[in-house]
Amino acid sequence: MSLKDRLSRLVGDAATTGEAKADPRQATMRELRDRIDTLMRRRERIIPPNTPRASRDAVPLGVAVAGEEVRTPHGKFFMSRTILNADDVYGYRRVRDFACPSMPAAAFLTGHQAFTDMSIKDGLFLDTETTGLSGGTGTFPFLIGLGWFEEDSFITCQLFARDFSEEGAVLRYLSEMASGKEFLVTFNGKAYDINLLTTRFILNRSHDMLAGMPHIDLLHPSRRIFAHRLENARLSTIESHILGVRREGDVPGFEIPQRYFDWLRQNDGMFLKDVFEHNRLDIISMASLLKYLTDLVENSIEMENYHHGDLLKLALFLHERGDVERSLRMFESLIMSPLPDVATGARRPLSIIYKKMRRWDDAVKLWLTLAHADQHDIFAIEELAKFYEHQTRELEKAVEIVRGLLENRGHLNEIHCTSLEYRYKRLLYKASLKEK
Amino acid sequence: MARVSLSEWLARAENDRRFRENATAIRYIDASDGSFAPYPQWVNPLLQEVLTDRGITKLYSHQARAIEFVHQGRDIVLVTPTASGKTLCYNIPVLQRIIEEPETRAIYLFPTKALANDQMTEVHGLIRELKANIKTFTYDGDTPDDARQAIRKQGNVVVTNPDMLHAGILPHHTKWQKLFSNLKYVVVDELHTYRGVFGSHVTNVFRRLKRICRFYGQDPIFICCSATVANPKEHAENLLEKDIVLIDESGAPRSAKTFILYNPPVVNRELGIRQSAMTPARNMMNDLIGNRIQTIAFTTSRLNVEVLTKYLKDMFRGRIPDDHYVTGYRGGYLPNLRREIEKGLREKSIMGVVSTNALELGIDIGDLEACIMVGYPGTIASTWQQAGRAGRRTGESLAVLIAKSNPMDQFIVENPDYFFARSPEYCRVNPDNLLILLHHIKSAAFELPFEEGEMFGKEDLMELLAYLEEKGVLHRVDQRWHWAAENYPADEVSLRTISTENVVVVDTTDTGSHRVIAEVDWESAFTTLHDGAIYMMESQQYHVDLLDLERKKAYVKKVDVDYYTDAMNYTNVKVIDDFDKKIKNDIIIEHGEVQVTRKVVGYKKIKFYTSENVGYGDVDLPQRDMHTTSYWFTLPWDLLNALQLTRLDIVDGLAGLTYCLHHISAMLLMSDIRDVDWCIGDKSGEWYVRPGNNRRVITTSPTKPVSVMDNAYDPTVFIFDAYPGGIGFSENLFDRHDELIKAVRSVIASCPCEHGCPMCVGPLLEVGPSAKHSALKILDMMMGP
Which one of A3, A6, A28 has the shortest CB-CB distance to B550?
A28
Nearest CA-CA distance, residue B548 and chain A, Å: 12
Q: Which CATH class is domain A61-298?
A: alpha beta
Q: How far is B503 from chain A (nearest CA, A)?
A: 13
Contact B489 A21 (CB under 8 A): no
The CA distance from A4 to the nearest CA of chain B, in Å, is 6
Q: Mind giving me the DSSP string for B694-745?
A: SSEEEESSSS-EE---TT----EEEEEESSTT--SHHHHHHHTHHHHHHHHH
Cβ contact (<8 Å) for A24 and B477? no
| pLDDT score, position A142 | 97
Q: Are A326 and A352 in contact (CB under 8 A)?
A: no
Determine the pLDDT at residue A19: 35
pTM: 0.76
E strands, A167-286, in order: 183-186, 215-217
ipTM rounded to 2 decimals? 0.78
Q: Please tell me the class of the A307-373 domain.
A: mainly alpha
* Nearest residue of chain B to residue A5 (CA atoms): B467
- Tell me if A140 and B175 make a contact (CB, 8 A cut-off): no
Burial of B688 (0-12, 13-18, 19+ CB in 10 A): buried
In chain A, where does the domain assigned CATH 3.30.420.10 lie? 61-298
Distance CA B625, CA B498 (A): 12
Q: Please report residues of B whose CB lies closer than 8 A to that of A202.
A: 174, 177
Q: Please identify every stretch of chain A with a pLDDT value under 50, giving residue numbers as ranges.
A: 12-26, 28-33, 35-53
Min Cα distance B212 → chain A (Å) is 11
What DSSP designation does A100 have? -
Portion 65-94 of A in contact with B at CB < 8 A: none
Q: Give contacts of A135 with chain B, Cβ < 8 Å.
A: 172, 488
Does the beta-carbon distance from A7 to B434 stay under 8 Å? yes
Show the CA angle centred on residue B679, arms to residues B678 and B681, nearest 5°. 155
Domain ranges of chain B: 6-22+259-421, 36-247, 434-486, 502-561, 571-783
Q: How far is B438 from chain A (nearest CA, A)?
A: 9
Q: What is the pLDDT of residue A8?
A: 62
Is B627 in Cβ contact with A18 (below 8 Å)? no
CA-based diameter of chain B, in Å?
Answer: 84
- Going by CATH, does the domain composed of B6-22+259-421 fall within 3.40.50.300? yes
What's the distance, CA B331 to chain centroid?
12
Contacts of B725 in chain A (CB under 8 A): 10
Q: Which residue does chain B place closest to A132, by CA atoms? A: B486
Report the residue of chain A nearest B598, measured CA to CA: A23
Q: Which of A2, A5, A6, A140 to probe by mutation at the B interface, max B CB count within 10 Å? A: A6
CA distance A398 to chain B (A): 40
From chain B, the residues in CB contact with A262 under 8 A are none
Q: How far apart are CA B357 and CA B385, in angstroms?
A: 10
By DSSP bridging, strand B696-699 and strand B245-247 are unpaired
CA A33 remoteness from chain centre: 32
Greatest Cα pair distance, chain A, in angstroms, is 102
Say which residues have a Cβ less than 8 Å from residue B761's Cβ, sequence separation at least 6. B655, B656, B657, B659, B660, B748, B767, B771, B772, B775
Give SS3 for B327.
strand
Same fold, B6-22+259-421 and B36-247: yes
- Comparing alpha-carbon positions, the chain A residue that sits nearest to B176 is A199
* Contact: A137, B174; criterion CB under 8 Å: yes
Nearest to A23 among B435, B467, B625 (CB): B625
N- to C-terminal Cα separation, chain A: 102
Cβ–Cβ gap B485/A132 under 8 Å: yes
Of A11, A22, A131, the CB nearest to B486: A131
Cross-chain residue pair A137–B445, CB shorter than 8 Å? no
In B, which residues are within 8 Å of A264 by CB distance? Answer: 475, 484
User: Quick one: which H or E segment has residue B567?
Assistant: strand B563-584
Cα of B770 to nearest chain A Cα, Å? 35
pLDDT of residue B236: 96
What is the structure's pLDDT at A128? 97
Q: Are B595 and B625 in contact (CB under 8 A)?
A: yes
Chain A to chain B, count of Cβ pairs less than 8 Å apart? 114
Rounded CA gap, A75 and A80, in Å?
17
Closest by CA position to B273, among listed B690, B771, B767, B752: B752
| A264 touching chain B per CB within 8 A | yes
**Side-chain-facing half-sphere of A105: CA atoms under 13 Å:** 19
Enumerate the residues of chain A whose CB falls inside 8 A of the CB of residue B430.
Answer: none
A6, A22, A257 ranked by CB distance to B486: nearest: A257
By DSSP bridging, strand B256-262 and strand B183-188 are: unpaired
Phi then psi dihedrals of residue A351, to 5 deg: -60, -35
Q: What is the pLDDT of residue A421?
A: 84
Question: How much is the pLDDT for B662?
Answer: 92
Contact B448 A18 (CB under 8 A): no
Cβ–Cβ gap B435/A133 under 8 Å: no
Cα(A207)–Cα(A199) distance, integer angstroms: 11
Distance of residue B174 Cα from the nearest chain A Cα, in angstroms: 5
The pLDDT of residue A16 is 35
Residue B133: how many other CB atoms lie within 10 Å:
11
Q: Using DSSP bridges, classify how beta strands B705-706 and B502-507 pair: parallel, antiparallel or unpaired.
A: unpaired
Q: Find, in chain A, the residue whose alpha carbon is nearest to that of B484.
A: A261
Residue A36 contacts B where some CB pair is shorter than 8 Å: no
Going from the first residue of chain B to its last (785 residues), give the mean pLDDT of each consecutive group of 10, the final group possibly shorter.
83 90 90 89 93 90 96 94 82 94 95 74 84 88 83 92 93 95 95 84 96 97 88 93 94 86 83 82 93 92 86 82 79 78 88 85 76 88 83 78 86 81 71 85 96 91 90 91 89 62 84 82 82 82 90 90 82 86 92 87 80 81 84 91 86 90 83 80 72 56 52 82 78 89 87 78 73 92 87
Q: What proportions of chain B, in percent to the nearest 5, are helix, strand and coil?
A: 40, 25, 35
Contact state of A264 with B501 under an 8 Å Cβ cutoff: no
Name which CATH class applies to B36-247.
alpha beta
Beta strand B256-262 pairing with B474-477: unpaired
- Find the closest chain B residue to A260 by CA distance: B484
Q: String of b and e for A115-143 (b: at least 16 CB within 10 Å)?
A: beebebeebbbbbbbbbbebbbbbbbbbb
User: Which residues does A359 contact at the CB level (< 8 Å), separation at least 6?
Assistant: none
- Whether B174 and A203 lie within 8 Å, measured CB to CB: yes
Per the CB < 8 Å rule, is A137 touching B625? no
